Amino acid sequence: MPFPIPDKYSSEAADVARDERKRRVSPPSFFFAQTQALLLSAGYFKNDRLVTSARGGVANKHRNRIGSALFGQVMASFEFCIKDFIAQIIDSSDVFDETVNQCKWIDVDKSRVLAQRDFAGSVGALLIHPLLGWHDTEELNQRFQALFQYQLLEKDEAHKLQRLWIIRHSVAHNGGFVTHHDAYRLQAPSLREAAIEMDLEFLRDTADFLRSVVLKLEHGKPIGDRVIGEWISKKATGTWPEDKVAYTRVRSIVTVVRQRTQDLPKVTKGTYSADRNRVTGAS
């Protein structure tokens, strides 16, 4: 069957182009753009958009199916953001090379790399994206601790995210049906042998929670500042023209644009000087 090729002149062409720019240089901004688009889709088919005869049980059933599909995409977008954040940092400079070399969890199976032979990707992507274990919150914290000396999740956040991954498993692999085992892991016996109802409120709560986690990657937060601090300490020359390209790339990775319709901000000499002064203690 022919693959559906999108029309370059569609009504969302500008949105897609903007999202693609964010994907290439700022994984956290791309995640915010994606979740906003998915939530807009989830809330589109409200009763007031339907004729009276089309409302009720059938509409609710279809909305639940749409919500379940979008929930899977929200979780996938989060996973991509976390992986690509690390991958792009590896690509941006060799600052973290020594740390990466010491990470025993970065042990990519050769078959996984070979399977991506047609993928015009980066070294970081080849190292990070094929790895498993991103749904294990303890493993996730260990990886961020090893790279950035800071865990991504606090205890209550890890518990909440683990439950979301279980729900995502039920949606993706069991059509939204919760098995006895998954209900036990969720500590929700009422869901046993039942199908999950995925409403807009739950989707919004999920997106808000995941956004709060992604914001920890931002400049001004511990992980984002660690990335900037390491680069400035080890690579900055102190001269803007010489550092402009490399600094802009690193700074963009830890930038978070919250609105999908807003482009990434320009990185300026002023932001460079402020970061350098903060790290070096200069005035």
Let me know if residue 199 belongs to a domain.
Answer: yes
Let me know if residue 204 belongs to a domain.
Answer: yes
pLDDT higher than threshold 70 for residue 116: no
Long-range own/partner contacts, residues 103-108 (CB < 8 A, 24 or more apart): 103/143, 103/146, 103/147, 105/131, 105/133, 105/139, 105/142, 105/143, 105/146, 106/131
Domain interval for residue 190: 19-218
Let me know if residue 102 belongs to a domain.
Answer: yes
Report pLDDT for 213. 98
Tell me, what amino acid is at 108?
Answer: V
DSSP character string of 134-202: TT-HHHHHHHHHHHHSS-S--HHHHHHHHHHHHHHHHHHHHTTEEPHHHHHHHT-GGGTTEE----HHH
pTM, rounded to two decimals: 0.91
Let me know if residue 254 belongs to a domain.
Answer: no
Going by C-beta distance under 8 Å and a sequence separation of 6 or more, which residues neighbour residue 215? 28, 221, 256
Average model confidence (pLDDT) across the chain: 91
How many Cβ atoms from other residues are within 10 Å of residue 2's Cβ? 4
Computed from CA positions of residues 127, 128, 130, 133, in that sequence, does the dihedral angle turn out positive or negative?
positive
CB 252 within 8 A of CB 228: no
Report pLDDT for 45. 86
Let me know if residue 153 belongs to a domain.
Answer: yes
Average pLDDT over every residue of 252-256: 98
* Model confidence pLDDT, tens digit, residues 53-75: 888 888 888 998 999 999 999 99
Let me know if residue 11 belongs to a domain.
Answer: no
Report the alpha-carbon angle 220-78-115, nearest 5. Answer: 120
Report pLDDT for 115. 65
- For residue 195, the SS3 value is strand
Let me know if residue 253 belongs to a domain.
Answer: no
Count of structural domains, the chain: 1
Average pLDDT over every residue of 246-256: 97
Q: Where residue 112 falls among pLDDT bands split at 50, 70, 90?
A: low
Average pLDDT over every residue of 123-134: 90
Let me know if residue 154 belongs to a domain.
Answer: yes
Q: Which residue is it, tokens 């303890």? A: 138
